[in-house]
Structure 1
Amino acid sequence: MKRIFSILIIFIFIGTSSVMGQLSVGGKIGGASTNLTGVGMEDFIPDPKVKFLGGAIINYSFGDHVALQTELLYSGKGSAFQYYYEDKVRRGLLKMEQKLGYLSIPFILQLKMGDRSNYFHFDGGIVSNYLIHDSFTGTIDLENDKGEVIYENEVFELDQSPANFDLSWALGIGLVANGLNFDFRYEVGTNKVFQSDDGAPSILNKSFQVSVGYTIKAF
């Protein structure tokens, strides 16, 4: 149902752009501080990671105050965490990093203040994220109670099965100045990254994105 809704918005956007308003096209590049959030994560506190994002922009203005923007982006997401373990016979440190790469298609409604070439905008919308690659790797250092090393920077990889699709909510602000685009956007997922059992944490993606881009008027 969510995918059908996304496709419907694409057709509405294409149909509308052919009859009125101003169309601009371009590209953007930036970075994101990404992490995991959710309910029941008291014992699991991940650390944020900086990831790359970039791709194409299509912006359609319905006059001076409203615009609809869609994008086709590569969006990196994920997180990291570390866990220290100690008992009577062993102690060690486990470090892990989760890397997720998505093909992301945002549909963003913009409320603008200014004219068509120079304006601030407030953004809200949805983002369809399609998983294209993932990895879950880590290192472990472990020694016994006598200080003898069992593992030292031992590398390992876990077999994970993250969800192939994530629908996110997006809110943000931005500035357009004679084609230059500056965007700040917060995004939080609505689909669980992993299918969890009853009582397990409901883990969701979240990210704060900063990007710069450039657009030109198509007509």
Structure 2
Amino acid sequence: MKRILLITALFCISAGLANAQIKIGIKEGLNVASIDYTTPLLDTETSALASFHLGAFFHYSLVEHFGLQAELMYSGQGAKIDFKDYGVLTKNKLNYLSLPLLAKYHASSGFTAEAGFSLDFLLSAKQSYEEIDAISGSGLQLTEQDLKDGLTGVDTKFLFGVGYEMASGLSFNARFAAGLSNISKSVDENDPNYIGEEESFNSVFQLGVGFPLYGN
């Protein structure tokens, strides 16, 4: 009896997979990233930093026009932060392994809409300094330093976007990722370099292109 139930279950699963529309492919594109950085003791201003994303996607659909999409991506993020009190401009480059999971709607016209969440794991974090001369306005590039110890290893984001998919499977996508986690670690108030409790939230606007290697 148990064998019959097991064979029946495997048959149902196999039939479901056979009827499902599965796509596996690659995608890449532009990242325009920023960090919402604040600390109560310093006057700072942030600006965007351009980078890129690259990876693979897996789309699984059992219902017409609707499915789930999981991705495995390298994502370059960060920002430029101007510490006005010191006349120092920093460029913060953060590299993540990003794991988005999205619900995706696909209209018959090719229009797509998506929303979901992402779990991002920090791979590396580098900060370079540029000290601004207040008189001439010119800058002096200083040594790059590692930021990883001052940041949390995991970031979470809410994602939403729109796109268009051609009959060939080639797709174009615009997506915004809003950080939900403070990525700055707490700092000891007795530390001589203490500049107040910091808060840093990533955000990324992405323009991407994707193409399926399996399924359509």
TM range, normalised to the smaller chain?
Answer: 0.7 to 0.9
Name whichever structure is richer in strand by fraction. Answer: 1
Q: 1:212 to 1:159 in 2, by over 3 A?
A: closer
Q: Is 2:37–2:46's contact at 8 Å kept on the other side of the alignment?
A: no
* d(CA) in 1 for partners of 2:106, 2:170: 15
- Aligned ranges for residues 1-219 of structure 1 at < 5 Å? 18=17, 20-37=19-36, 43-84=43-84, 93-114=87-108, 119-142=110-133, 153-160=140-147, 161-178=150-167, 179-196=169-186, 200-218=197-215
Report % sequence identity. 24
Give the 3-state SS of the residue equivalent to 1:156 in structure 2.
Answer: coil
RMSD of Structure 2 on Structure 1 (CA): 3.1
The runs of 5 or more residues in structure 1 that have no matched partner are 1-13, 86-91
TM-score by length of 1: 0.76
Give the 3-state SS of the residue equivalent to 1:70 in structure 2.
Answer: strand
When structure 1 is superposed on structure 2, of 66-75 and 209-218 the one drifting more is 209-218
Q: Is 1:127–1:170's contact at 8 Å kept on the other side of the alignment?
A: yes
Give the 3-state SS of the residue equivalent to 1:194 in structure 2.
Answer: coil
1:4 corresponds in structure 2 to none
Q: Is 2:43–2:83's contact at 8 Å kept on the other side of the alignment?
A: no
Q: Is 2:44–2:83's contact at 8 Å kept on the other side of the alignment?
A: no
* d(CA) in 2 for partners of 1:137, 1:185: 28
* d(CA) in 2 for partners of 1:128, 1:154: 33
Q: 1:64 to 1:132 in 2, by over 3 A?
A: same
Aligned residue-pair number? 192
Give the 3-state SS of the residue equivalent to 2:174 in structure 1.
Answer: strand
